[in-house]
Amino acid sequence: MEAVMTTSHSAFVGEIPFYYDKYLGPMIFDQYARDLSARVKVPEAGVVLETAAGTGIATRELRDILAAGVHIVATDLNPDMLDLARGKFSDQQNIEFQTGDAQQLPFDDDCFDAVVCQFSMMFFPDKLRAMQEAARVLKPGGVLLFNVWDSLQHNYLVQTASRCICHCLSDNPPNFFATPFGFHNIDTIKGLLFEAGFADIEISVLPRTSLAADARSVALGFVLGTPVRVQIAADHQVPLTDIVAAVEKDIGEEFGFKNIREKMQAIVFVAQLKSA
């Protein structure tokens, strides 16, 4: 299968998955993974597909919350992310890992009770196609559940980190963060869901508090745990260590250097297909 999602913004490769999981997981992802997983309601012997599963942060919550008889299929386009995710589970935990593109799913029609996507819809070049693929593989009455980040203005730590990185590299500022924090217009997303065939849509705006032990953890997460690292390395001669130090300094001066607690905000969509 030819992968569709191949932009540098989705290139979570090399060492990026390690930093992503270690620093960004507890800082910004874990709370929303628990929330999204708790919304999944399927039969005790149901089948759940997770697209763009990354390092398995939401997969872990799904496995902990859902009945043991629920079979989880976790897919991601990036093998490096999926390898890290796979290592978190035993063979007895009823989880199947598979490389796959959410815009071109390698599954038959009508075979899943729910499709879950944690903070990845923003990265798909063809978002409508990803929603249509979810609708295709869902059983009648099945549910697509996903979350997206609200704008940078509602996510204080990454807003400051992004501003600092762009200031350090002002001649050609990296534009990575515009992608994960640029798909949040509720009416636009609802329109795509309706066009994809979903009928009943529930929306929740969820402000939460991001948690970090120190400013360096924030810097390591956002600089080394995202594809902005790839952009910096490809387009600039500034050492990554200098960028990490600059972000650490700006975060510390604005929010404190230890025990950081700052606002973050996401939007959750739960969209159901019509029953047969």
* Per-domain boundaries in the chain: 8-273
Q: What pLDDT digit, counting tens, does each position of 51-99 carry?
A: 999 999 999 999 999 999 999 999 999 999 999 999 999 989 999 999 9
Amino acid, single-letter form, for residue 89: F
Length of the chain: 276
If you average pLDDT over every residue of the chain, what do you get?
94
What is the arithmetic mean of pLDDT over 171-180?
93
Distance, in Å, from the CA atom of 95 to the CA atom of 40, rounded to the nearest integer, reads: 16
pTM of full prediction above 0.85: yes
Fold category of 8-273 in CATH: Rossmann fold (3.40.50)
- Per-residue pLDDT at 227: 94
- Per-residue pLDDT at 6: 42
Tell me the two tokens of residue 191. 């329109």
- Residue 172: band (very low, low, confident or very high) from pLDDT cuts 50, 70, 90: confident
